[in-house]
Amino acid sequence: MEFEFVALQMLVVSLPILLGWAIHKLGFLDDELDSGISRLVMNIALPCTILSSLGTSPELPETGVMLAIIAATFAAYIVAIAIAIVATAAMRVPADARGVYQFAMAFGNCGFIGLPVISAIFGEEALLYAAISLIPANVVLFSAGAIMFDADSETGLRRRLRRAVSSLKSPTLIMSVVVLVLAMAGVNDLGLVGDSVAIVGQMTTPLALLVTGSSLANYKPLAMLGNWRAYVACAVRLVAIPLASLAVARLFPLDVYQLGIVVVDCSMPVATAGILFCLQHGRDAMPMLQTTFLSIIASIASIPLVTVLVGA
């Protein structure tokens, strides 16, 4: 895939983000609306997009391919976590911030931002593969990711695991599993139901991108640029992790198209769930905000480069 084409698609995706920033500054969006729209996207629109992905491809992938995508994504996240732990130790991050940096480097926004970007680059037919890859991504994020914030606390192991399991009850993960089961059963046409949820799912991309831009309007640019560890974490998230994901994913029986979807999905900017985890666990959210801000801006250039490198 040509660099110019992918860069153009990232520009198409980034312009609504810029619009979201502008309308927040103009007062049409605020933090309360952002929070409500985010819940709407994550709990309603995004699951509908995932379910409607069954109808985007005339032929369903073979069960072996779907299982290979799950295995490749899971393996990529295991490697990403290992890299994040090593990088955090190398940066000598203070104990109370280790989980913050580990999460920021290990986990990308593969749902909220990932699905719109994957659709723009690879076409709507790629949504089914992306939905399948969300299963291991969400399982690892809401289990290992949540535990990162508890690792240096006094919370007991049993309570940490209980929290992690409770976090898995997300509509996005549940719908991803439903889609996998239906796909493995050979169902790719939901008829009237599919058409209806597709209509609802169409609001996922514009709302997700507008809210992303609106959330950036809360950041003071100068405050986001003064932490050297945030730059290192951003480079790990957008460069080191995608390269490692590419090396790992190549070990699985995936064609170039499928490989590209898996790797690009692992190349997204920092997962916004990290900010929520910081608030829930009483951690300083500034390093997460800084890394998130830098990664969103830098991903406009890094994702096209990763896509070309993959050769998808």
Domains defined along the chain, listed by start: 3-310 (1.20.1530.20)
With pLDDT > 70 as the criterion, what percentage of the chain qualifies? 91
pTM: 0.82
Go through 273-288 and write b for each residue having 16 or more CB atoms within 10 A of its CB, e for each that does not.
bbbebbeebebebbbb
**Does the pLDDT at position 202 exceed 80?**
yes
**Does the pLDDT at position 249 exceed 70?**
yes
**Does the pLDDT at position 154 exceed 60?**
no
Q: Which two tokens stand for residue 88?
A: 């955090």
pLDDT of residue 109: 87
List helix spans (H) across 141-190. Answer: 146-148, 157-167, 171-184
pLDDT-based confidence at residue 1 (cuts at 50, 70, 90): low
Average pLDDT over residues 33-59: 82
pLDDT of residue 92: 95
